Structure 1
Amino acid sequence: MTAAPDWDAQAVHAELERVRRDFHQLLDAATGEDLARPTDGTRWTNEQLLFHMLFGYMLLWALLRLLRVFGRMPTGVSRTYGRLLSAATKPFDIVNYLGPCMAVHIYGHRRMGAKMDRVIASLHRRVEKETAAGLAQGMHYPARWDPFFTDYMTVADIYRYPARHYDFHRRQLTLGAGRN
């Protein structure tokens, strides 16, 4: 792998493992009562928010594919696409909320850990294949959709996105006797 100047593959690997271990610790310690409890600052339960946190990593593959396509096009194409998506923020917010509400009936907390393991393992393999040119590719994103999206993001930025998203939501969980 040819490294980009600000790219630290080992730091990305360490971050992926930190999140994977933490996610398992949260799932392993959570009781049924914990999972059903409302979170702090969201309309989700802890179980729904845990799925949303997992989904941030599942979404990474789609974001990378999207970036690979738009990163080869003129900048104006991705800028227009990003603006169109930003204009659709209200419908996105509804889908973003309802997705975890429904997904926990399919995944449940018991399957979430295994899914996180598979997603993280695939990301470890992908990180090893990145090149400086690939990491520098970028596109415009709907910055209004998530506080961790910026108007323009590179592949290297996208790899950093889900951990920031995870850590933000981790503070909203109300698991255990006290807050995490």
Structure 2
Amino acid sequence: MGAMDRQTVHEDYERARRTFHQLLDTATAAELTRPTNGTRWTNEQLLWHMFFGYLITRVLLPLVRLFSRLPDSASRAFARLLNAVTRPFDLINYAGPCGAVKVFTPRRTAAAFDRVIDSLTRRLAAAPEEFLARGMHFPVRWDSFFTDFMSLADVYRYPNRHLEFHRRQLTLGGGETPVR
């Protein structure tokens, strides 16, 4: 995949930040409880799941660094194991946002989103160029944006793709007074 354009990824993170805040800032209480298009979540739950894509990226970065130092067979076996437990993962992946929105208000979610974006931006800026090409095998059954092998650069790009995909499933925009 060639050299990574860090500035483009940084700009994508900032665009995602603006988009996420705009979605949360303009959503009404009624819109947040409305079902989404194509998922079993409400808009609020799907927004939290979109945020979770950035959270999981922070977890994936050290995992990729670790497995990139091991023989290829290690990450291949790990990906096979994770693919084998896709059903429990799917249940947790669904239930997580359902519970999270009971604890995280839209305001708290927005603040946490900012902290995660800032963290990813700092990590990307500090990552040595040669590390960005290192990678590992991924459980392709867990997420449609996971490919069999992903470099660290691919992982940094992942959450923005995840957010944009799910953004199209939101059913916001009813014209009521936004939640503050």
* TM-score using structure 2 length: 0.94
**1:76 Cα deviation (Å)?**
0.2
Amino acid at match of 2:10: H
Amino acid at match of 1:28: D
- Once superposed, which parts of structure 1, at least 4 consecutive aligned residues long, lie more than 6 Å away? none
Cross-structure match for 1:113: 110
**1:151 Cα deviation (Å)?**
0.7
Amino acid at match of 2:131: G
5 Å matches for 1:1-180? 5-177=2-174
Q: Distance in 1 between matches of 2:169 and 2:105?
A: 19
Structure 2 residue ranges without an equivalent (≥5): 176-180
Q: Distance in 2 between matches of 1:36 and 1:110?
A: 16
Structure 1 residue ranges without an equivalent (≥5): none
Q: Distance in 2 between matches of 1:139 and 1:49?
A: 28
Deviations 1:94-115, CA, capped at 9 Å, x for gaps: 0000000001111121211101
Q: SS in structure 2 opposite 1:97?
A: helix
**1:127 Cα deviation (Å)?**
1.2
Aligned pairs, number: 175
Q: Distance in 2 between matches of 1:84 and 1:124?
A: 30
Q: Distance in 1 between matches of 2:74 and 2:67?
A: 7
Cross-structure match for 2:178: none
* TM-score using structure 1 length: 0.94
Root-mean-square deviation over aligned CA pairs? 1.2
Q: Sequence identity, in percent?
A: 58
